[in-house]
Amino acid sequence: MDMETLLSYDWHTMMPEFIIVGFAILLSLLDLFLGKKVDRRKLGWVGFVGVLVAFVSLLFLLPHESTEILFNTFRFDSFGKAFKLLLLVGTMLVFVLAIHDDEKEIQDRGEYYYLFLTALLGAMFMVSSGDLITLFVGLELLSISSYILVAIRKKNRKSNEAALKYVINGGISTAITLFGLSYIYGLTGSTNIQDMSIFIQTGNLESVQGLIGMAFLLTFVGLSFKLATMPFHMWAPDVYEGASTPVTAFLGAVSKVAGFAIVLRLFLSIFGAIPMDEGQSTYLLYMQGFIAVVAAITMIIGNTIALKQVSVKRMLAYSSIAHAGYLLVPFMAFSPFLMDNMWFYLLAYLFMNIGALAVVQVVQRAIGSDHLTSFSGLYKRSPLLAVLLTIFLLSLAGIPGTAGFIGKVHIFLSAFVVEPAHYVLAAILMGTTVISYYYYFSIIQQMFFRQPDKEETIRPQSGLLIVGCLCAVATIVLGIFPFLAYEFFFQYFDVLKDFLG
């Protein structure tokens, strides 16, 4: 590549990524050269500022037209902008949780903070990738950083066990995903997603339907590990429980956003473009039954196993599994409102999940455990924390007046706006939502109707309290005025044009 070509690219469209790279390098250098007596928690604020600056730079880039650079391996389009906003907002909230994480078992504080940045960088490259190679590099950057974050508490047995299970399952999922992507490359002769889509639409693939099916199943199964959908979810409860609470928040919210973004990018661009039935349908629609079965099993098993959990973090892990099943419903239905429904639900889930884990972090720090009984009498020991956690649990349960309710209603309706309607899957969604009330309300019951073991007041750190209040306000505002988020989405993100234009 000559210098003239190199300078002709719109490099400013990668400004958020450049900022994250710069601050990750800065953090690593500061951690290396600062004296041992310097409190490494101050580095957390440097990382927070880096994510904030990247967020502001992305806001300035929102009106910018969609463009591709580096031979269409990096795409700055509406899809990427929409999901990067979620990634950056979620990581900022997680950074505040990490800065106020007082666990003495985390000795390598500098690494702890800049690994969040490298994981975020991998996720951002994933959502903007226009090529299988860069997409896979971003996926592995996110995954490897996450493995280390889970194992950052080196002397904690649960953390070590969680990290081992996560690495083994992650390695298997990576191999399966790569195997599926190799079939796609073999069928099209290209790793560029746009070129692959054009070849698929113009080529005759009727004689290789079996290979297409193999590519679809392998890729979907491999990425299902990342999403923690059934039956590829077994790593999630142990990892959520064994990891530090900020890492759990990152995996449960930010990593999940990245996982669904890569699924949408790959499957809509490739399998959504393969014609079936003489152009009347697509291969993605042809595989609706398979996706529907995975969604149904995920919702049922995730919610039913959560009923027996006594660890709140494990309970939220199974809740996360169930929510992955909910998000598969609009993806399976392939409704005209697919993108806005999934974006809004991920936005709502980001606030309610991180907010709930912020309260869990406060209680776990004060009591020393995340056992369900640790929340007994929380209303008497800290009324504000009890109210905040109640808001998040009601939103996760889908109670009216919260963002979670709006998200679930739109997902439920997405099963009916297509022809034929998916009545069975919608009924399973409603039934499992009712089941989830039991374990969400069991926590509320402990907080308001059980006596605490100690009468000592729990005083949350100011940063955690701010995160909890911000997430609660966002949860309520999006529940009462959801049009604010939808108007913002439709004003700045013409996502369908990225796939159909």
pLDDT digits (tens, 9 = 90+) for 229-247: 888 888 889 999 888 999 9
pLDDT digits (tens, 9 = 90+) for 256-295: 999 999 999 899 888 887 877 766 778 888 888 899 999 9
Choose between 11 and 281: higher pLDDT. 11
Q: Look at residue 393 and tell me whether its pLDDT is greater than 90.
A: yes
Q: Look at residue 501 and tell me whether its pLDDT is greater than 60.
A: no
Rounded Cα distance between 428 and 433, Å, is 8
pLDDT at 4: 67
Q: Look at residue 39 and tell me whether its pLDDT is greater than 80.
A: no
Q: Mean pLDDT over all residues of the chain?
A: 89
How much of the chain, in percent, has pLDDT values that exceed 70? 96
Give me the mean pLDDT over the 7-20 stretch: 86
Choose between 213 and 54: higher pLDDT. 54
Q: Among 92-101, 362-371, 464-473, which is the least confidently predicted range? A: 362-371
Q: If you average pLDDT over each of 29-38, 62-71, 106-115, 347-356, which comes out highest?
A: 347-356
CB 294 within 8 A of CB 328: yes
Rounded Cα distance between 230 and 48, Å, is 34
368 contacts: CB under 8 Å, gap ≥ 6: none
Q: Among 264-278, 326-340, 431-445, which is the least confidently predicted range? A: 264-278
Give me the mean pLDDT over the 296-309 stretch: 93
Note the Cα 134 to chain centre separation in Å. 19
Q: Among 41-45, 87-91, 426-430, 466-470, which is the least confidently predicted range? A: 41-45
81 contacts: CB under 8 Å, gap ≥ 6: 58, 61, 62, 492, 493
| pTM for the predicted model, two decimal places | 0.94
